Amino acid sequence: MEIYKFAQEVISDAGAFIRQRMTEDFNIDSKLNPNDLVTDVDKETERFLFEKIEERYPDHRILGEEGQGADIEDTDGVLWIIDPIDGTLNFVHQLENFAVSIGIYIDGKPYAGLILDVMKDDLYHAAYEQGAYKNDRPLHDIEASSLKSSLISTNANWLVRDGINTPFIQIVKDARSVRSLGSAALEFVNVARGTSSAALFYRLHPWDFAGGVILLNEVGGITTTLLGDGLRLLNTNSIIAANKTIHAEIIEYFKADEAFIRNHKKFHKL
């Protein structure tokens, strides 16, 4: 449990670092396209976390969105998977609704997941089979729900993407309503808190989901690809994070759509 305690401290310190740093000027660059933004604060926060973890645990490995551990190809030993700012667009445009996310795995097995809602300074955390918490308060098991009586979350980008959008459109029509927050980590948190019944993503990277899957598992939630398969920890995956009842209902929409299955396979190089 020593690593878990240290992770709680280090993620809280990273939050304080961001809140201070964002009061000063920072640069904004784009990466793969003009809407894929990264700021100095993303990079500096990853560096901040890397230095603290490296100092305390020199033999641990760290994979981060902004370049740390880009050569990691296996899950041996203690692996920290880090998103220094999840929801960079929210950080830039809203100055809120973004998170630091950490998932720790030992020899590929879940050890601890931590997500800090930076501006609220709320820490959601869970150690494997030890329950999940919001700060010091335990989170309860989530409840079963059906699509027609549920709020779910997904990104509108997938609804306008030809070749994969048919099942997404039908799910949106059949759900009570849909929300989109813009931080995958905080969308996992909402499912774990029970304020959303399911979160659907066509593509997430390891740093987007590594913390959230451990957190959600501790409150009885389930995380698979949209076709119901297990996640590959070091690859991109489509993801549904949900209570078990609605999970079973939703994956049937994707499994029934041959064009979706074909394009999904190609996209994720399965």
Interface positions with Ca ion (CB under 5 A): 65, 83, 85-86, 88, 208
85 is in an annotated binding site: yes
Query: What whole-number distance in Å separates Cα of residue 175 and Cα of residue 118?
Result: 30
Q: Is 45 in the site for ligand IPD (CB under 6 A)?
A: no
Q: What are phi and psi of 136, to 5 degrees?
A: -95, 0
Give first-to-last CA distance, the chain, whole Å: 36
Decide if residue 117 touches ligand IPD (CB under 6 A). no
Q: How far is the CB of 145 from ligand IPD (least distance, A)?
A: 22
Burial 51-74 (b: 16+ CB within 10 A, else e): ebbeeeeeeebbbbbbebeeeeee
Q: Which does 155 bind (CB under 5 to 8 A by kind): ligand IPD, Ca ion, none?
A: ligand IPD
Tell whether residue 63 is a contact of ligand IPD (CB under 6 A). no
Residues 137-196 that bind ligand IPD (CB under 6 A): 155, 182-184
Enter the DSSP assignment of 144: P
**From the CB of 220, what's the least distance to ligand IPD, in Å?**
23
If you write DSSP's letter for every residue of 207-266 in order, what string do you get?
HHHHHHHHHHHTTT-EEE-TTSPPPPTTS-EEEEEE-HHHHHHHHHHHHT-HHHHHHHHH
Distances (CA, A) of 234 to 23, 81, 190, 205, 210: 34, 9, 24, 8, 9
- Note whether 88 binds ligand IPD by CB under 6 A: yes
CB of 42 to ligand IPD, least distance (A): 8
Count of residues interacting with ligand IPD (CB under 6 A)? 11
- Taking the complex as a whole, the smallest distance from the CB of residue 78 to ligand IPD amounts, in Å, to 23
Only segment of 44-52, 71-79, 81-89, 230-238 that touches ligand IPD (CB under 6 A): 81-89
What are the distances in angstroms from CA 108 to CA 14, 80, 94, 116, 262? 25, 11, 35, 23, 28
Q: Which does 79 bind (CB under 5 to 8 A by kind): Ca ion, ligand IPD, none?
A: none
* Residue 8 found at the interface with ligand IPD (CB under 6 A): no
The verdict on whether residue 86 carries a ligand-binding annotation is yes
Annotated binding-site residue numbers: 65, 83, 85-86, 208
Annotated binding site for Mg(2+): 65, 83, 85-86, 208
Which residues here bind ligand IPD, judged by CB under 6 A?
A: 65, 83, 86-88, 155, 182-184, 204, 208
